[in-house]
Amino acid sequence: MARKLLLEHINVPGINTLDVYRQKGGYRAVEKALKTLSPEEVVEEVKKSGLRGRGGAGFPTGMKWSFLAKPEGVARYLVCNADESEPGTFKDRYLMTYIPHALIEGMIVSSFALGANTSYIYVRGEMMPQIRILEKAIAEAKAAGFLGQNILGTGYNLELYVQPGGGAYICGEETALLESLEGKRGNPRIKPPFPAIAGLYGCPTVVNNVESIAAVVPIINDGGDEYAKIGIGRSTGTKLISASGNLVRPGVYEIELGLPVEEFIYSDEWCGGIANGKRLKATVAGGSSVPVLPANLTLKLANGEPRLMSYESLSEGGFATGTMMGSGGFIAFDEDQCIVRNTWNFSRFYHHESCGQCSPCREGTGWMEKVLHRLEYGHGKMSDIDLLVDVSKKIEGNTICPLGDAAAWPVASAIRHFRDEFEWHVKEPVKSLDTNYGLANYAEPIAKAEVTTGN
């Protein structure tokens, strides 16, 4: 059985209440940090743990914390990013629903480490039930003396609030989230300045994902060094993977980083294989923004070695043959799924969610969606395929925030690996409306010649 740090007690009845959570060792990290450690020591433990941001970018959390400016007399803020909206990702919802105190406890320890006296959890507005759960958990924690004035008699004060979003994927981008928290449109800010210098209300701010903050709890309990022993290389610790699509058992799994992808998909301990006895065609390994990979490149690296669930192994081969860990949203496509249709669906998502502030993303996402729609519905032209690649290149890297890249990568990668299928849609406009291209050679061992360089 793999080690669990976040979800160890997930099946204990009543774990969503403070009492049961405490019986299972909850709030030990708060006692330990506030009573025996200095804020700097907490930051040091997180640095030692090698924890990398679980929201998608994978930036080392301890390093992010150490960048926080600390000018005299200016408030500092910790904001938890619970605006989980990346298609394929639903781990934060799971964590907040079933074990909300893990997040509250992490928030207290992290706020203490950063010297924040007011912290916010920005939850996407659609998660109203989770907002209610968190509000209840906060009230419980406050009644038990873990929040408010003079926490546990240590002199540390912290108020924790839940802020609902209004329905906008872009607010998962940290500066858009801060704008939204200030009651404005969720337009990402132009950086620099980074939030660590000027974030919420112009004050130094750290924005961390739910899972990152929850992971601080085991790091403080067991020590950063212990945490770093789990995992592989620079991918330390455990990671929540949201598994969806055509799997026997989709759901949220806590894995030790370094687990082979093949084992994750097919082992009965995890997803249990592809549903309905079908074969795997493709995967999106880290949420909809990361490059899609055919089955063969999902399971194996270009050199034939097994691919692992780790930041490094998933991105092995760059964009030519690799993908990214992202937020851990693992989507599996069976042999009957149409890559063109799915690419259109994703590009419709990014078109819908573009904030409209900068021109390449505002105009380019809509353009790509329209071309893909035409291809999917049998009106495409052969030249559309190269047009899509070109438009995606004109968006990628030229926008204010990463949404432009996130919109471009799925399109570019789908064409890179599944060009045959796009061409088939053009050649067989009628047939492609009610039949699918099928598995083709996407699961076959990789011939060296196929590994061409992408953009």
Three-point CA angle 309, 311, 315, nearest 5° = 95
Binder among 163, 175, 209, 212 for another protein (CB under 8 A): 163
Identity of the residue, 79 or 299, whose beta carbon is nearer to another protein in the bound complex? 79
| Integer Cα distance of 191 and 402 in angstroms | 12
Told to check if 119 binds another protein by CB under 8 A, we report no
Stretch that binds another protein, among 108-116, 247-255, 421-429, 437-445 (CB under 8 A): 247-255
Told to check if 242 binds another protein by CB under 8 A, we report yes
Binder among 288, 313, 315, 413 for another protein (CB under 8 A): 288
Binder among 17, 345, 436, 455 for another protein (CB under 8 A): 345
Told to check if 9 binds another protein by CB under 8 A, we report no
Stretch that binds another protein, among 34-42, 218-226, 360-368, 431-439 (CB under 8 A): 360-368
Whether 207 and 177 have beta carbons less than 8 Å apart is answered as yes
**What are the residues facing 247 on neighbouring strands?**
274
Q: Which of 359, 404, 368 is nearest to 387 (CA)?
A: 368
CA dihedral sign of residues 410, 412, 418, 421? positive
Identity of the residue, 87 or 218, whose beta carbon is nearer to another protein in the bound complex? 87
Q: Which of 315, 262, 248, 251 is nearest to 286 (CA)?
A: 315
- Interacting positions 362-401 with another protein (CB under 8 A): 362-367, 370, 387, 393-394, 397-400
Six-digit token string for 33? 């940090």
Give Cα separations from 13 to 27, 61, 96, 212 (angstroms).
18, 32, 15, 24
Told to check if 318 binds another protein by CB under 8 A, we report no
Whether 319 and 439 have beta carbons less than 8 Å apart is answered as no
Told to check if 209 binds another protein by CB under 8 A, we report no
Give Cα separations from 306 to 114, 284, 439 (angstroms).
40, 17, 21
Binder among 31, 44, 126, 312 for another protein (CB under 8 A): 126
Told to check if 228 binds another protein by CB under 8 A, we report no
Told to check if 135 binds another protein by CB under 8 A, we report no
In the complex, the smallest distance separating the C-beta of residue 41 from another protein, rounded to whole angstroms, is: 28
Told to check if 121 binds another protein by CB under 8 A, we report no
